[in-house]
Amino acid sequence: MLTKLIIRVDGASDRFDIEDLSKCFVQKYPHIPLCVCIEAMNIKYMWGKSGWKLEKKKILKYEWEVGGHTINHWILSNQRF
């Protein structure tokens, strides 16, 4: 069974190389089989509804989980779409 994971990095794109961050994670946890997608987000910017719809599609298609958002984030709820 694969562990699929999104690493959400708030505001990190200005300070860190995202590729280096993913390599570091894989080096620290080589025993975990995973597909890593890093979402670099600016904490001062909130995605619009269309952005969250795209994120929901990725979650449903690839069975990714973003923290607790897949369960309790209102905009990812099936009731909203």
Half-sphere exposure of 7 (CA within 13 A, CB side): 16
What's the pLDDT score for residue 72? 42
What's the pLDDT score for residue 64? 52
Amino acid of residue 46: M
Amino acid of residue 51: G
Paired with 45 in beta bridges are none
- Each residue's pLDDT tens digit, 10-66: 444 445 555 666 677 678 767 655 454 545 444 445 556 666 666 667 666 665 554
Query: Domain-by-domain residue ranges, the chain?
Result: 1-45, 48-81
